[in-house]
Amino acid sequence: MRTVGVEEELLLVDEATGEPRAVSGAVLAAAPDDCGLEQELRLQQLEIATRPESGMREPAAEIRRWRAEAGRSAAKVGAVPAALATSPVPVDPSLSSGERYAWMREEFALTAEEQLTCGCHIHVAVESDDEAVAVLDRIRPWLSVLLALSGNPPFWQGRDTGYAGYRSRVWGRRPSAGPTEAFGSAERYHEQVKALIGTGALLDEGMIYFDARLSRNYPAVEIRVADVCLEAEDTVLLAAPARGLVETAAREWRAGRPPAESGVGLLRLASWRAGRSGLDGPLVQPLLWTPAPAETVARSLPEHTGETPAEAGDLADTEQRLAALLERGSGAGRQREVFEKTGELAAVIKDCAERTAA
């Protein structure tokens, strides 16, 4: 059974005003040595990471555990973590120290200065680079569905953007971000990565920000397209079908089935629509490339993966979590609901911080 690990990026905000605070170093210093908290690009961010597990219950428990630990450690410096994919209020982000981050500030200029986004990265184990690239080529049409399910940042710099997931629009400013063409082979993948770094616009392989890529540190595919989810349950909802997508794609490859012909233009458009609509409007149906209701598209994801989630023992949980998400709506809907009631972005942030802790 393929193992799954999850990384979540959390925003650190002032417990009173909701404004992002550059205190990640102090939070990590206050945290236990063996905790799952890590430094991120911005000092206003913190990352939590789960261990690779074959079941979904373990990552679910770890996500809750490390969110709670982040809350305890942040409280010691007057801050709270919030699972927000962008800051609802205006913010001047601060880069972490180090030569690499200084290079990014110099090379990416305003893009680096404005960048403060929080995503969710899912690592699914593979047997080899050949299998990994075969998986990347075959899951491309379905990544926009994961983005739609996770939609969590409607606000940016103090205003409603009209998007359910505006993080993807901000993140897409980076030169290597977004969907890719099919690579065809592991050799071709590594050639492309080498060529991109060779342009001088990227410093190293860590700046390959494809929607899905080969993990640098593990024999795994890293799916990076999703927003950080407001609810811990929704993070688990993403992880289970992500593993199903990887297993389904690997089986298709072993059976000699070629990947669907999906050009980057179509993939970009589907991703834009997912960020714009989330679960509150039409999406693009993978493989058919026609508009369809969000619920129809969302339910087609477990249908596509077929029996693989059931074999892993989590099909029933996935269907239950999906039904719950479709009923209550995404994080973006929750944020807009709170703002409509209060008229205050600080209230939105406070509510999200409370739900993150819960």
Buried b (16+ CB within 10 A) or exposed e, 310-339: eebebbebbeebbeebeeebbbbbbbbebb
* Residue entry with tokens 């059976």: 255
* Residue entry with tokens 């693009």: 284
User: Mean pLDDT score of the chain, rounded to an integer?
Assistant: 93
- Structure-block tokens of residue 98: 């180090």
Buried b (16+ CB within 10 A) or exposed e, 251-272: ebbeeeeebeebeeebbeebbb
Number of domains in the chain: 1
Q: Identify any residues that bridge with 80 across adjacent strands, giving them in sequence order.
A: 13
pLDDT at 310 over 70: no
The residue-averaged pLDDT of 316-342 equals 94
pLDDT at 1 over 90: no
* Cα–Cα distance measured from residue 25 to residue 294, given in angstroms and rounded to the nearest whole number: 40
- Residues of the chain with pLDDT > 90: what percent? 80
- Structure-block tokens of residue 51: 């261990």
What's the confidence (pLDDT) of residue 100? 84
* Cα–Cα distance measured from residue 244 to residue 311, given in angstroms and rounded to the nearest whole number: 10
Closest CA to 46 of 17, 75, 5, 89: 75
The residue-averaged pLDDT of 20-43 equals 88
pTM for the model: 0.96
pLDDT at 44 over 70: yes
What's the confidence (pLDDT) of residue 209? 95
Cβ pair 153, 145 in contact under 8 A:
no
Written as one letter, the residue type at 278 is G
- Residue 173 is part of which domain span? 4-357
CATH number at residue 9: 3.30.590.20
251-303 pLDDT, tens digit each: 999 999 999 989 999 999 999 999 999 999 999 999 999 999 999 999 999 99
The contacts of residue 190 (CB under 8 Å, 6+ apart) are: 129
